[in-house]
Amino acid sequence: MLTTAPRGMNDVLPGESRRWQAVEETARRVCRLYGYGEIRTPVVEHTEVFTRTVGEATDVVQKEMYTFQDKAGRWLTLRPEGTAPVARAYLQHGLDKGPQPFKVFYLGAPMFRHERPQAGRYRQHYQFGVEALGTLDPALDAEIILLVHHFLSELGLGSLRVHLNSIGDERCRPAYREKLRDFLRPRLEELCPDCRGHRFEKNPLRILDCKVRTCRAVVREAPRLLDHLCDECREHFRTFQSYLKDLGLEFRLDTSLVRGFDYYTKTVFEVVYTGLGAQSAVCGGGRYDGLVEALGGPATPGIGFGLGLERLLLTLERQGLLAAEAGAGVEAYVCALGALARRQALGLLDGLRRAGVAADVDYLGRSLKAQLRAADRAGARLALIVGEDELARGLVTVRRMADGAQDQVALAQVVATVARRLAGQADAASEVATRASGSPRGEEKP
């Protein structure tokens, strides 16, 4: 137990974390292009932030939250999702009185759900999420879809399809809910225990996206929420779709799409990757026009999405879209032979790093051969060999790892030379080759 992380919680080791960083850098860049600033909320919230918004009848609230009492007896929950905390922060800081829409993204901090771990789904997991609060404009719905589409395309996931539905709002949904109950009541026996139990009682819409086969068969015949929208919801959905058409984005209506949480209203969507025989939802989101109100704030529309990073990385990996692991990113490796050389080596290393060259050194007192192997493993493009003979003459040997070509450079110039060669690899290649074959150009003579 002492040497195993809790079930469903993973370490991300250095080689792998570089892949995460690549995805995260893309997310940050795209968010900046769309005018979204980063928000960081605490990893725990008061439990009510989730029970009042995500919904009492949802799996998340019923079964999956990590909830505990702190020493003062307050109920706290490790956040299972990112939208309710953003709405809480929006109210706490009076952001509803600032410029609207309030556009933010979150990235990098974990979410927690106690569910059965499976590939790409873990108890501690990471999400990239985007939220925009403060306007009902359907153009914002389109912007959110464009943003996630842009992000995924930049990562190489070009084959995307957007699945859309509208699930109405508190004006039109109650009547539909009753219609749906009327339809389901004579068929309750065919539904799974969850559906015929608390879902039927508390939120029959959830039955529409139940994955159990018999439930799916029953709801195929059910009345469609799309046919029971109020005027405002219908108009909003129509305008939103017309924007997507104008933008040439491929989408498909999916009337079984309801999303898991109670706070969703009107637009709900999923973005599905369809490339290379894959068919996986990589992102889901929607409007939540009642969420801020559920937390005790003024009626405030909002829309956003959340995207599981583990799932995304898995998809990228399966499609061969992740760069091969690239060590720790070291560019130059200093090999020192002997005690005196070692003292010089540490100064050289310091000079390289301060000049912006990622550099490392051997700390195990190994042979030159072993140090060069270490340089190779670290991914270094150049090795700097500091021996006692060379030092006596004020020289360092610079070796190109790719082909072993090497030359000697004055100690005083070696940092600048290495930085220049790494910056312009093509030039450096010919430079080193020339020197290795014994015709130095003379600018760096000792």
The residues that touch Zn ion, with contacts defined as CB under 5 A, are: 168-169, 171-172, 192, 195, 210, 212, 215, 230, 233
Question: Number of H helices and number of E strands within the chain?
Answer: 17, 17
Q: Which is nearer to Zn ion, 141 or 169 (CB)?
A: 169
Q: Which is nearer to Zn ion, 169 or 431 (CB)?
A: 169
Residue 239 CB, nearest approach to Zn ion (Å): 14
Burial of 49 (0-12, 13-18, 19+ CB in 10 A): buried
Spatial distance between the Cα atoms of 355 and 343, rounded to a whole number of angstroms:
19
CA atoms within 13 A on the CB side of 125: 27
Residue 230 CB, nearest approach to Zn ion (Å): 3
CA 135, 141, 142, 143 torsion-angle sign: positive
Residue 216 CB, nearest approach to Zn ion (Å): 8
**CA angle, 263 as apex, 262 and 267 as ends, to 5°?**
105
- Which regions of 70-116 does DSSP assign to beta strands (E)? 75-78, 102-106, 110-112
From the CB of residue 317, how many other CB atoms can be counted at a distance below 10 Å?
12
Residue 173 CB, nearest approach to Zn ion (Å): 7
Q: Which amino acid is at 222?
A: A
Residue 168 CB, nearest approach to Zn ion (Å): 4
CB-CB contact of 184 with 200 (8 Å): yes
Residue 194 CB, nearest approach to Zn ion (Å): 5
Both tokens assigned to 405: 């070509």
Burial of 438 (0-12, 13-18, 19+ CB in 10 A): exposed
Residue 215 CB, nearest approach to Zn ion (Å): 3
Most distant pair of Cα atoms in the chain: their distance:
95
Both tokens assigned to 433: 């080759």
Q: Which amino acid is at 186?
A: P
Q: Which is nearer to Zn ion, 97 or 220 (CB)?
A: 220
Three-state SS across 318-371? HCCCCCCCCCCCCCEEEEECCHHHHHHHHHHHHHHHHCCCCEEECCCCCCHHHH
Q: Which is nearer to Zn ion, 266 or 400 (CB)?
A: 266
Residue 219 CB, nearest approach to Zn ion (Å): 9
Q: Which is nearer to Zn ion, 189 or 246 (CB)?
A: 189
Residue 227 CB, nearest approach to Zn ion (Å): 12
